[in-house]
Amino acid sequence: MKHLIVGAGATLAEALALGIPRVQCPPVMTDFARKMWWNYSPYPLLDAYLRNQGYTNLGEDPRDLFFRLEESGKENIERFMEFAWNNRSLDLAPYKSNLPPGFISGFRITTADPSSKSQPTQENFWQNMLYHGIGSPLSFFMDQCFFENGKGWKDFSQAKTISSRLTPNDLVINLNFDTVFELALQQMGRDVCYVPNIQSPHEILVAKPHGSLNLIMNHEGFMFGQPEWLGMPQHPGYDSYSGLVPPRLNKNYAQHPFAELIIKLIRDRTPQKIIMWGVGLTQSDTDLLSLYQGWAKSADSIDVINPDQNVAANVHDLLKCDVKHYRNLTEWGSEN
- Whether 141 maps to a domain, the answer reads yes
Residue 198: which residues within 8 A CB-CB, separation 6 or more?
none
- Whether 120 maps to a domain, the answer reads yes
Average pLDDT, the chain: 90
DSSP 134: I
Residue 88: which residues within 8 A CB-CB, separation 6 or more?
124, 125, 126
Nearest to 279 by CA among 176, 171, 207: 176
Q: What is the pLDDT of residues 169-178, one digit of tens each?
A: 899 999 999 9
- Whether 323 maps to a domain, the answer reads no
Q: Residue 117 has what pLDDT?
A: 45
- Whether 139 maps to a domain, the answer reads yes
- Whether 276 maps to a domain, the answer reads no
- Whether 307 maps to a domain, the answer reads no
Nearest to 84 by CA among 46, 134, 39: 46
Q: What is the pLDDT of residues 310-323, one digit of tens each?
A: 999 999 999 998 99
φ, ψ dihedrals at 259, nearest 5°: -65, -40
Contact between 280 and 29 under an 8 Å Cβ cutoff? The reply is yes
Contact between 8 and 31 under an 8 Å Cβ cutoff? The reply is no
What span, in angstroms and rounded, lies between the C-alpha atoms of 63 and 48?
12
Q: What is the pLDDT of residues 24-59, one digit of tens each?
A: 999 999 999 999 998 888 988 999 999 999 999 999
As a whole-number percent, the residues of the chain with pLDDT over 70 amount to 91
Number of domains making up the chain: 1
- The pTM (predicted TM-score) of the whole model is 0.91
Q: Residue 112 has what pLDDT?
A: 47
- Whether 22 maps to a domain, the answer reads yes
Q: What is the pLDDT of residues 57-112, one digit of tens each?
A: 999 889 999 999 999 999 999 999 999 999 988 877 777 766 666 665 455 444 44
SS3 4: strand
Residues pairing with 138 in the sheet = none
Full domain range(s) for residue 182: 2-269
- Whether 277 maps to a domain, the answer reads no
Contact between 289 and 257 under an 8 Å Cβ cutoff? The reply is no
